[in-house]
Amino acid sequence: MGMAADSEFHVLAVDDSIIDRKLIERLLKTSSYQVTTVDSGSKALEFLGLHEDDRIHQNTPSVSPNNHQEVEVNLVITDYCMPGMTGYDLLKKIKESSSLKNIPVVIMSSENVPSRISRCLEEGAEEFFLKPVRLSDLSKLRPHLLKTKSKDHCKEQVDEKPAFPSPKQEGKEEQQQSKNNKRKAMEEGVSPERTRPRPNGITSMV
């Protein structure tokens, strides 16, 4: 089910709710990603090969060099509200780690709190999804994943956000200005109900 090419992307999903873990796993698999789910931020860091006592000042991860390469993670999608380490804490730790900072991180939350959304986006989250997450939300992941693949090939830091405005549309495959993605997340959160069209197609061509 799905193109072989798509399953080269491995997503790490983090959520303390067993129901939401099952749901996100199914959503991601339906979108042809490889999935690993964990129930906490600390387990996520463990899986990523980062120990809790790693600090930003360390240039090399305090793990054996092979550790974080064995299980390559192309994207982390995490719940915001979790006991202990929140999704925001996890995001920070990933972005502060020299070995992990290029991994795109997406935050999910059941609560639409604009200040929370901005805080996460400012800390480097690529997207902020309101729960319950739907298949149509996952189509927004692809550009971020493709970016990381081309980064490996081109060895370019594509950190600059282009300044052109983008039309407000759903389901675009091309890379967008990140700011517009962020604004969309906030606007969609504010509207009383979701009226966006739901595409039936699940897998898309790489």
Partner 1 sequence: MRRQLAIMRQSLFDQGYLDEQFIELEELQDDANPNFVEEVVTLYFRDSARLILNIQQALERKPFDFNKLDGYMHQFKGSSSSIGANKVKAESTLFREYCRSANAEGCLRAFQQLKKEYATLRKKLEAYFQLARQTGPLETASRPK
Token pair 């920070």: residue: 92
18 binds partner 1 (CB under 8 A): yes
**Separation CA 46–CA 142 (nearest Å):** 25
Among the listed ranges 54-62, 99-107, 115-123, 132-140, the one in contact with partner 1 (CB under 8 A) is: 132-140
The least CB distance from residue 66 to partner 1, in Å, is 34
Count of CB atoms within 10 A of residue 171's CB?
13
Q: Which among 72, 69, 66 is positioned nearest to 33, based on CA atoms?
A: 72
Of the candidate residues 132, 149, 150, 191, the single one contacting partner 1 (CB under 8 A): 132
The least CB distance from residue 167 to partner 1, in Å, is 26
Segment 62 to 81, residues that bind partner 1, using CB under 8 A: 81
The least CB distance from residue 16 to partner 1, in Å, is 8
Sheet strands side by side (includes 105-109): 34-38, 10-14, 75-79, 105-109, 127-130
Query: Which string of x and - marks every residue 29-48 that binds partner 1 (by CB under 8 A)?
Result: -x------------------
Q: H-type helices in 60-131, by residue range?
A: 67-70, 87-96, 114-122
171 binds partner 1 (CB under 8 A): no
Among the listed ranges 88-96, 142-150, 166-174, 196-204, the one in contact with partner 1 (CB under 8 A) is: 196-204
Count of CB atoms within 10 A of residue 91's CB?
23
Segment 70 to 129, residues that bind partner 1, using CB under 8 A: 81, 110
In terms of residues, how long is the chain? 206
Dihedral, 136, 92, 103, 70 alpha carbons, nearest 10: -120
Site size for partner 1 (CB under 8 A): 19
**Separation CA 2–CA 203 (nearest Å):** 6
Q: State the residues that interact with partner 1 by CB under 8 A.
A: 1, 17-20, 22-23, 26-27, 30, 81, 110, 131-132, 134-135, 200-202
